[in-house]
Amino acid sequence: MRKKLGNIFRIFKKKEHTEEDLEELRLSFKERYHSFKLLLSANNSALEVMGAIDQALQGNNPFGMSFIRASSTAASVSVYKLIKHLNEISNNKYTELFLRFEEIQDSIQKILSQKKTIKDEVMVVPLRSVDRDMYDLVGSKMANIGEIKNKISLKVPPGFVITSCAYNLFIEHNHLQDEIDRRLQSVEADNIEELYTVSSKIQNLIINSKIPQKLEEDIKTSWDELAKEAGKEITVAMRSSAFGEDTEDNSFAGQYRSELNVSFDHIFDAYKEIIASKYSLTAITYRLNKGFKDEDIFMSVGCMVMVDAVCGGVMYSRSPLDINDDSIFINSSWGLPKTVVDGNSDCDLFVVSRKNMEITYRDIKNKKNKFVCYPKEGVCRVDITGENANLQSVSDIDICQLSKLAIKMEDHYLSPQDIEWAINQIGEVFILQCRPLKQMENLKIDYPEDLSNKENLITSGGITICPGVGSGKVVLVKTGADILSFTEGSVLVTNQALPRWASLLNRAKAVITEQGSFAGHFANVAREFRVPSIFGLKGILEKLNNGDIVTVDANAKRIYRGKVEISYNNLGEKKNFMEGSPVYETLREVSRLIVPLNLLDPDSFEFKPLSCKTFHDITRFAHEKSVHEMFEFGKTHNFSEKSSKQLFYKVPMQWWVLNLDDGFKEEVIGKYVHLDNIVSVPMLTIWDGIIAIPWDGPPIDGKGLMSVMFQATTNTSLSVGTRSKYTERNYFMISKNYCSLTSRLGFHFLVVESMISDRTRENYIRFQFKGGAADYNRRVRRVQFVGEVLEKYGFKSEVIKDTIICSLDAQEKDFMLSRLKIIGYITIHTRQLDMIMNGEARINYYRDKLHSDINKILS
């Protein structure tokens, strides 16, 4: 290659080329043409991936680290290719770009390789030495319970924590992380079925791994100490405790596993199962929806001596549903608090006034069963027979005592608390767990007047779990398999409010259950995701069928048939759960190095490699220069055949044409090429579109014009060099079946590229359009407008800030040509439309005009 270029340089010096020289020049040109095509394709993929990143940042769909990694690599590879091909075209004129590229790439890499690390080395710590500052080592849940035990001196069972270091050691010892990543990252996030399979495979992998000997020994030592302290044989409750869980907005309630009443014989198996539950389907989806990095979650496991409870439950130090309600809410059941937490049967509810500790509300349920400890190991659910089922499960005295504890804890943490408690055989009250409680704003609902006597009321009752109104198609969920068939926007109807249904919450419009407690895990997560929910609505399963359309008013606890419009202030609307999360922030940081475009004006002095701050800058620069280099080739090599010609259509036009291969009917001598000498099918089609309907000049709008003037004086890159304001440059590069058009008029920049022939599969049109002089919002509205119009005609469109990329692929020749003609029309007629992009009426006028013009063109 280098040798060949040397030859070419020698060739310049001669005035006349020999036939041999010409052949060599043609070949050299052909290579450049090939590189140019590859460059354009890299340009398109770079812009596409930028569009995808920009789209992800809108935050409407959850994404994980694998999306960020894959997109960053796709962007860097495309940009690398661009630079490489630009240098091939230009005889290595722009190698400086590689340096800029490397710097940007390094910064991206730095962001992506940030990883949370644990500095400590201790494997097991006794609970008596834990406080809330140790959340890194013992996880949030155990840090909180340690704090309660040691700083407020509440009664908490003794225990120890197997730390996050132990977790790391376990994972490293078995070389699990790479394998987990590999499996996890190859699944599509929204393919629940696949996730389900991968989740069980990873869990198996973990369960079949070995616990390092050192860790086994440390756990054994701690166990023996605990048993000695208790002075008898012990069993423990084991609970997951991960970093980042148990915060107000991210409770992770019930997402990980707990094991109750575990003897030493099974402590290691139980440990592995809890670790494995990090990869349960619900936990994976929860993390994804909330933007937690998988690799930053270290699972600690708390082991606390088992409390053989007579009764237990969950209490809230304030109402979770109404920020103005400071009553204490106590849920209680017979036996272990597991009954309340799991949400699979009914339990008692007491509401206590904070002022005088009076019970203001009591709802005593028929409690059909309870969980109890087996003597040696494990727990089981037993039926409650006789009158016990209907008895109040916790005494008024204990309710009062519990309420006081709740207030004490709230005072310590200075925020509302969600507390799990249990009372043992001799009447001691234990605190087993606590976490911040999220309170919701009270909803204001505007009921239509005629709603109260609506005939389509199906039923009413139950308890409000999360306020709000939602409607959709009923999906009855009974088994795990039903999870797979749950579609977006449906209403989840189920018997028990089990934590396993949590993975559906991101897609559910509302939830109705027959049984379940106000304080269960599933209730917590439903509130976190703000899904209107009613629990404990008896008989609903018999009243509804799969596919029924219903409206759930969780405030009034009513279910209507069909879609009923009930408006309320949208505090209850789902928000973007990703924003602010670690994963979201990582993408935002990375995107700052990829997406923004700073190089706007190719005529400005600042338009140079050194000014490229982002991948988008490099992309824009490389594209501009590639066109320039292609057009320069003929001139610098004194090679008329591959020099650009000025288009002659009635008069000489401000349009230039470069014949890449077989785009001219016959060799052009001299300066001009006449339209009838052009045989490039795509170019002629674009031209037809351009001249189809005369352009009636820029739309006039006083303010719009002001906006244009204002931009011109504030945006330096637009105003540097007055000539840039009105320069018009249009470059066609053509062969028989191929055409690329780069056009700049004033502030507008557009690129059309198309290949159309009988080889349908290879056909494509790419249209990229950016800029305009009006303010940013108008520019964005214009590209959205253009995208909207083109999508009607079958194009796919993607908007990145104020740039739009539209594409159409692999359609029949005639269809492609008709669409390319629309593009030709659009290139002229959307010029400066940004000026009128502030009035709905004007926008509608122009939308109608465009569509009617296009219909004319197509007919």
Partner 1 sequence: MENMKVLVVDDEGDFIELFVKRLKKRQIDIIGVESGYRALDILKKEKIDVVLLDVKMPGMDGIDTLREIKTKYPLIEVIMITGHGSVESGLQGMIHGAYDYVLKPFDLEVLLNKLKKAFERKRLKEKA
E strands, 46-123, in order: none
Closer to partner 1 by CB, 2 or 723: give it: 2
From 43, 76, 285, 797, residue interacting with partner 1 (rule: CB under 8 A): 76
CA–CA separation, 96 vs 748, rounded Å? 27
80 binds partner 1 (CB under 8 A): yes
Contact present, 211 and 166 (Cβ < 8 Å): no
Binding piece for partner 1, criterion CB under 8 A, among 26-34, 688-696, 698-706, 825-833:
26-34
Binding piece for partner 1, criterion CB under 8 A, among 23-31, 433-441, 773-781, 825-833:
23-31
Residues 164-183 that bind partner 1 (CB under 8 A): 178, 181-182
Residue 852: which residues within 8 A CB-CB, separation 6 or more?
A: none
In 280-352, which ranges are continuous DSSP H helix?
Answer: 281-290, 338-342
Residue 380: which residues within 8 A CB-CB, separation 6 or more?
A: 371, 372, 374
Q: Centre a 10 Å sphere on the Cβ of residue 210 and count the other Cβ atoms it contains.
A: 12
Instruction: Write down the least CB distance from residue 408 to partner 1, Å.
Output: 48
Closer to partner 1 by CB, 104 or 330: give it: 104
Closer to partner 1 by CB, 72 or 403: give it: 72
Long-range contacts of 508-511 (CB under 8 A, 24+ apart): 508/470, 508/472, 509/470, 509/471, 509/472, 509/552, 510/468, 510/469, 510/470, 510/471, 510/472, 510/534, 510/552, 510/554, 511/465, 511/466, 511/535, 511/552
Tokens encoding 382: 């037993």
20 binds partner 1 (CB under 8 A): no
CA–CA separation, 558 vs 568, rounded Å? 15
Residue 538: which residues within 8 A CB-CB, separation 6 or more?
A: 461, 462, 514
Binding piece for partner 1, criterion CB under 8 A, among 74-82, 359-367, 579-587, 745-753:
74-82
Closer to partner 1 by CB, 256 or 738: give it: 738
Closer to partner 1 by CB, 32 or 338: give it: 32
Q: Smallest Cα–Cα separation from 508: which of 524, 485, 489?
A: 489
The single residue listed with the structure tokens 């002629």 is 684
The single residue listed with the structure tokens 């992770």 is 252
From 8, 21, 57, 66, residue interacting with partner 1 (rule: CB under 8 A): 66
From 27, 484, 706, 858, residue interacting with partner 1 (rule: CB under 8 A): 27
Residue 651: which residues within 8 A CB-CB, separation 6 or more?
A: none
Instruction: Write down the least CB distance from residue 30 to partner 1, Å.
Output: 8
Closer to partner 1 by CB, 215 or 590: give it: 590
Instruction: Write down the least CB distance from residue 72 to partner 1, Å.
Output: 8
Per-residue mark of binding to partner 1, 31-50 (x: CB under 8 A): x--x---x------------
Element of type H or E holding 514 = strand 508-515
What is the spatial order of strands in the sheet that 558-561 belongs to?
A: 457-460, 558-561, 549-553, 469-477, 490-496, 508-515, 533-535, 463-466
Instruction: Write down the least CB distance from residue 178 to partner 1, Å.
Output: 6
Query: What string of H, E and C letters represents the secondary structure of 103-159?
Result: HHHHHHHHHHCCCCCCCCCCCEEEHHHCCHHHHHHHHHHHHHHHHHHHHCCCCCCCE
Instruction: Write down the least CB distance from residue 344 to partner 1, Å.
Output: 37
Binding piece for partner 1, criterion CB under 8 A, among 25-33, 339-347, 476-484, 732-740:
25-33
Instruction: Write down the least CB distance from residue 257 to partner 1, Å.
Output: 26
Instruction: Write down the least CB distance from residue 580 to partner 1, Å.
Output: 25
Phi, psi of 744 (to 5 degrees): -125, 125
The single residue listed with the structure tokens 């003897």 is 263
Amino acid at 421: W
The single residue listed with the structure tokens 């028929």 is 366
From 5, 12, 14, 30, residue interacting with partner 1 (rule: CB under 8 A): 30
Residues 529-568 that bind partner 1 (CB under 8 A): none
Per-residue mark of binding to partner 1, 112-151 (x: CB under 8 A): x---------------------------------------
Instruction: Write down the least CB distance from residue 712 to partner 1, Å.
Output: 39
Instruction: Write down the least CB distance from residue 80 to partner 1, Å.
Output: 5
Closer to partner 1 by CB, 30 or 575: give it: 30
Instruction: Write down the least CB distance from residue 28 to partner 1, Å.
Output: 8
Q: How far is CA 213 from CA 196, 210, 339, 565, in A?
A: 32, 9, 36, 62
> What DSSP character marks residue 536?
-
Closer to partner 1 by CB, 367 or 637: give it: 637
Closer to partner 1 by CB, 13 or 761: give it: 761
81 binds partner 1 (CB under 8 A): yes
Phi, psi of 851 (to 5 degrees): -65, -40
Closer to partner 1 by CB, 54 or 809: give it: 809
476 binds partner 1 (CB under 8 A): no
Instruction: Write down the least CB distance from residue 186 to partner 1, Å.
Output: 6
Binding piece for partner 1, criterion CB under 8 A, among 77-85, 307-315, 320-328, 751-759:
77-85
Instruction: Write down the least CB distance from residue 761 to partner 1, Å.
Output: 9
From 26, 69, 362, 408, residue interacting with partner 1 (rule: CB under 8 A): 69
Closer to partner 1 by CB, 405 or 618: give it: 618
Q: Smallest Cα–Cα separation from 605: which of 715, 690, 716, 443?
A: 716
Phi, psi of 367 (to 5 degrees): -95, 110
Element of type H or E holding 767 = strand 764-771
From 10, 23, 60, 70, residue interacting with partner 1 (rule: CB under 8 A): 70
Closer to partner 1 by CB, 31 or 131: give it: 31
Closer to partner 1 by CB, 21 or 181: give it: 181
The single residue listed with the structure tokens 């908490």 is 156
Instruction: Write down the least CB distance from residue 98 to partner 1, Å.
Output: 9
From 109, 390, 545, 777, residue interacting with partner 1 (rule: CB under 8 A): 109
Instruction: Write down the least CB distance from residue 356 to partner 1, Å.
Output: 60
CA–CA separation, 471 vs 251, rounded Å? 26
Closer to partner 1 by CB, 181 or 377: give it: 181
The per-residue b/e assignment along 327-340, b for 16 or more CB within 10 angstroms, e otherwise, is bbbbbbbbbbbbbb
SS3 582: helix
CA–CA separation, 738 vs 443, rounded Å? 60
> What DSSP character marks residue 256?
S
Closer to partner 1 by CB, 30 or 538: give it: 30
675 binds partner 1 (CB under 8 A): no
Residues 176-215 that bind partner 1 (CB under 8 A): 178, 181-182, 185-186
Residues that bind partner 1 (CB under 8 A): 1, 4, 27, 30-31, 34, 38, 66, 69-70, 72-74, 76-77, 80-81, 84, 105, 109, 112, 178, 181-182, 185-186
